[in-house]
Amino acid sequence: MKKIVSSFLFLFFLILAVQAENYPYRSDVLWVTVPSHADWLYKTGEQASVEVQFYKYGIPQDGVQVDYEIGGDMMPADTRGSVKLKNGKAVIGLGTMKEPGFRDCRLTARIGDKTYRHHVKVGFSPEKLRPYTQMPADFADFWEKNMAELAKTPLKYTKERVEEYCTDRMDCFLVKLQLNNRGQSIYGYLFYPKDAKPDSCPAVLCPPGAGIKTIKDPMRHRYYAENGFIRFEIEIHGLNPTMTAEEFAEVSAAFNGKENGYLTNGLDNRDNYYMKRVYLACVRAIDLLASLPEWDGKNMVVQGGSQGGALALVTAGLDKRVTACVANHPALSDMAGYKAGRAGGYPHFFRKAGMDTPAKLETMAYYDVVNFARLITAPVYMTWGYNDDVCPPTTSYIVYNLLSGPKEALLTPINEHWTSEDTERGHLEWIKKQLK
C-alpha cells in the first residue's frame, strides 16, 4: 500500500468538514500527541506508548493532571489512570493488542473550571483486519435483478440553467432526475466546462454525506469543471435545493425530525430498505452522465466522503462503467463489526437497542460497503484518519484490505471526521492520472 503520512501540526488551518476538529479555531489550548512510532502503527503484541503535550496560550502546562481512558476503537475503556505533566509533557503506555485493530487513548485535562478533551488512536497490524460481514450467496443476483428493473424505466430528467453558479469558465444546471415509475426523483447540480464540446469531458459523480439536507455550497468543487470535467453533485432524498427554509422544515418533518433516521427505514427487509433506492439512484446518475454528448465515453469517476464515500464505493461495485473511485472515510462499512467485539461502521446500529435482530443483520449484509468492495475492479483512492469516531479507522482499513484491484491510500492519522483542502485538491490530481 502506498502510504503518505501527513504532517499533523498544521492541518487545522485548512479544515473543511464539520463533525470534529483536533485543534478548534481560536482555541486557547493545544494538545499534541506523539506516539512512539512515527506512523502510529505497531505490530500485534508490540507495546505502544504516546507522549502527551498540553499547551495553553502556547505555554507548556506544568503540573496539570491529565486523566486517561484506554480501550479499543469505539469500545468501552479497559484501562484508566492519570499522569502529571512536567514541562507540559508526559508519557502514557497504551499496552498492546493480540488481534489486529486500534486502541484509543481518551484524554481529559482540567484547568480551573474548564475541562479539555482530546484523544489519539494507534493501530496494531491493521493491514490484517478482515470484515465480520459476509457476502450473501445471492448478493450479485439481488443487485443484478434490481438494476435490471431500474433499466426498464426510461431515463428522464429536467435541466434548468442556474445563472448564479455560471462563470466565464463553467456552466451550471439544476437537474431533477427521475428514479423509477413511482415518481421518485433526486436533484443535482451539473457543472460543465464552458463551451464543452462533444466527446471531450471526463465525468465525476459526487454523492452526498449523511443527513436530511439539500445541496450546500455546490461551488466548493468548481475547480473540477475549470479543469475540464463534467461534475454532477447530487442529493438523495428528493429535496430541491432551491426550496425555502419553511418548505425544507415541512419536508424534513416527514423524516420525524431524525437527521439520519432514514438509515434504519425498512431495515427489516432487503427489498424495502430506504437505501435501495439511494444505491440505485447513483446508478441512474451514471446513466445520466453517460448519456451526455459532452462525456468523453471513457472516463467515469465517483468521488465522495463519509456516506458519500460509501456511495462512491457502492457505485463502483455495482456499475462497471465506473473507471475510477475516490472515497474518504467511508460509512456503512462492516456495520455488524460490533458483533466481533470491535468497531463497526457508521451509523453504529449496534449502539441502539433493538437493532441486533436476524432480519436487520440479513438486510445489512446486502447494503454493506465491504460486499461491494469485493466486486470493484476500477482503481480506488482512499483516505482516512485514525482519530475518526464517526467512520472509525478499523472499518476504513477493512474496506481497503478487501480491494483487489489497483489501489492507493493517503493516511492522515490525526484527522477526525474531516479532510483538508489540500487533500480534496489531491483527489483531482489522482483522478487526472487515471484518465484514459
Q: Which residues are catalytic?
A: 306, 388, 417
Torsion of CA 340, 68, 390, 253, to 10 degrees: 110
Which among 199, 393, 362, 356 is positioned nearest to 290, based on CA atoms?
Answer: 199
What 3-state DSSP class applies to 327? strand
Residue 337 to residue 189: CA distance in whole angstroms: 35
Q: Of 137, 134, 135, which Cα lies nearest the Cα of 337?
A: 134
Q: How far apart are CA 143 and CA 11, in angstroms?
A: 40
Rg (CA), the chain: 22
Residue with cell 506508548: 49
**Residue 336 has which C-alpha cell?**
455488524
Q: What count of other Cβ atoms lies within 10 Å of the Cβ of residue 126?
A: 25
Handedness of CA 81, 85, 86, 90 (dihedral sign): positive
